[in-house]
Structure 1
Amino acid sequence: MIIGIYWGKGKPSDLTKFLQSFLEAATATEILKEGIIVKNTLKIIKIRSFICDSPSRSFLKGVANFNSQHGCQKCTVEGQYSYLSRTNYFPQKACEKRTDYGFRTKQDELHHKYDSPLLKLPIDMIQDFPIGYSLHLLNLGIMKKILCGWRDGKFGNSKTKWKK
């Protein structure tokens, strides 16, 4: 069940204020810990996931964006900057996975920008924020960079430029 869909011309200036009514509803009655009784039956309530695009996910979690050196939301890989492509890339494939405990204790200090108000909720700050959609991973990220590079010949190799 979708609880809310948010949109606008820009991100909220104050995340805590933006999430205030949601956090109050989720924590005021202890509904997430104790559940709710409906027709004499106890119903357990759990926030299953927050579905966000990459910029929104970073904003909600208070972490570095996906294209920064410490931006991977699932592992602790450190990105390297490429002066050729003017982007960060992640050379390691086998890295330590992020955990909810590691996130909450800020084991990777450079990954965190500020404390998210969502830390007050009984959620897993890693697993409850799924990643795996093509929009920012391919269509607006890698694919756009590749297409513009081929079009403009910015890869430093004339064989990679499209011919008219």
Structure 2
Amino acid sequence: ASLTADETLPESVPQESQESDESIPVDAHEADEESDDKADSFNEDDPFSDINDDSDWSDDEGLNIRNVQFQEKLRHWALSSNISHYAVGSLLSLLKEETKFKLPKDPRTLLKTPTATSIDIKNIAGGQFWYNGVANCLKSYFTTMQPGPSTLWLDFSMDGLPIHNSGPTQLWPILMRVTDLPQAPVFVVALFCGKTKPASAEDYLRQLVAELNRLQSAGVTLGGKKVTIRVRAIIADTPARAFIKGAIAHTGYDSCLKCTEHTVYDRSTHRMHFSGVDAPKRTAKNFKAG
């Protein structure tokens, strides 16, 4: 008698096992597209997209060059964007953990901040005076970049402010703003500290005037580019303006800076007022004559 199909196959092997290779269809084209999608998941514009690719890190010399270039780019970004040392330090810690770049721990090392700076504080009439300098402020800002415009117009501001309400100590800073670069910070060119305003406008302004005369004549080199310096305005309130001009304070007699109108003291109101509005204008000659 002939054997049936069930009797010729071992019991341990199921009959449908012969079809097991065809139970899960595989589309080779779809598999290729899936692998391409994974490869494309890294953005070419992302500077850290290939950070863990071992093939890019095989050459020690190339790694060192790339490390130096990255540090310079990071330093330029931090300085040009005015990033705080605290934020730079936090970023350095994160990059050291997540990347293979060899970066310093201290942001001062990355930014090349001087560890020992000689500060020249002078005693002048009325208090102490520190002069930082116009050129020094500009060179510190343009360490790793060049200014766009070939002429920089500068504004200066001078005013007094108390340090606290419980004492007479006050500061008189000389602040500078580059009008052509609104993104640049306000620079501290000089700083006076005393119990009153500076006793001498000559001591307070002499270094600034001398440097501005020199810079407006010869210019200054910033980031390898020669730049012309011009003063656009000096900004001050009425008391500060009278002080830096060496004129009579606004509460005194004949205090108008524009004309020669006389002032009169009103005893009933204890106020000063001008006697008229049609006095001759002041000229440079009679202004200097006092």
Under a length normalisation based on structure 1, what TM-score does the superposition of the two structures give? Answer: 0.51
Alignment map for 1:51-66 (pairs within 5 Å): 51-66=235-250
Alignment counterpart, residue 203 of structure 2, candidates 1, 17, 38: 17
Residue deviations 1:99-145, cap 9 Å, x none?
223323x1xx3xxxxxxxxxxxxxxxxxxxxxxxxxxxxxxxxxxxx
User: Is the CA contact (8 Å cut-off) linking 1:35 and 1:42 kept in structure 2?
Assistant: no
Tell me how far apart the structure 1 counterparts of residues 242 and 198 of structure 2 sit (CA, whole Å).
13
Rg comparison, structure with higher value? 2
User: Is the CA contact (8 Å cut-off) linking 2:201 and 2:246 kept in structure 1?
Assistant: no
Alignment counterpart, residue 219 of structure 2, candidates 36, 49, 53: 36
Q: How far did 1:6 drift? A: 5.0
What's the counterpart of residue 264 of structure 2?
80
What's the counterpart of residue 50 of structure 1?
234
Three-state SS of the structure 2 residue aligned to 1:88 is: strand
1:4/1:90 CA distance change after superposition, 3 Å: closer
Tell me how far apart the structure 1 counterparts of residues 271 and 159 of structure 2 sit (CA, whole Å).
30
Say whether 1:2 aligns with 2:186.
no
Gaps (5+ residues) in structure 1?
A: 110-164
Tell me how far apart the structure 2 counterparts of residues 77 and 63 of structure 1 sit (CA, whole Å).
14
Tell me how far apart the structure 2 counterparts of residues 74 and 4 of structure 1 sit (CA, whole Å).
21
Q: How far did 1:75 drift? A: 0.7
Identity %: 22
User: Is the CA contact (8 Å cut-off) linking 2:156 and 2:233 kept in structure 1?
Assistant: no
Say whether 1:68 aligns with 2:221.
no
Tell me how far apart the structure 2 counterparts of residues 82 and 4 of structure 1 sit (CA, whole Å).
34
User: Is the CA contact (8 Å cut-off) linking 2:201 and 2:244 kept in structure 1?
Assistant: yes
Q: How far did 1:14 drift? A: 3.1
Question: Greater strand share, 1 or 2?
Answer: 2
Q: Report the AA paired with residue 48 of structure 1.
A: R
Say whether 1:98 aligns with 2:251.
no
Q: How far did 1:77 drift? A: 0.1
Greater RCO, CA 8 A, separation 6+: 1
Q: How far did 1:85 drift? A: 0.9
Gaps (5+ residues) in structure 2?
A: 1-153, 162-169, 171-195
1:42/1:102 CA distance change after superposition, 3 Å: farther
Tell me how far apart the structure 2 counterparts of residues 23 and 41 of structure 1 sit (CA, whole Å).
21
Q: Report the AA paired with residue 36 of structure 1.
A: G
How many equivalent residue pairs?
102
Three-state SS of the structure 2 residue aligned to 1:47 is: strand
User: Is the CA contact (8 Å cut-off) linking 2:254 and 2:263 kept in structure 1?
Assistant: yes
Q: How far did 1:4 drift? A: 5.0
Under a length normalisation based on structure 2, what TM-score does the superposition of the two structures give? Answer: 0.31
User: Is the CA contact (8 Å cut-off) linking 1:58 and 1:66 kept in structure 2?
Assistant: yes
Tell me how far apart the structure 1 counterparts of residues 208 and 238 of structure 2 sit (CA, whole Å).
21
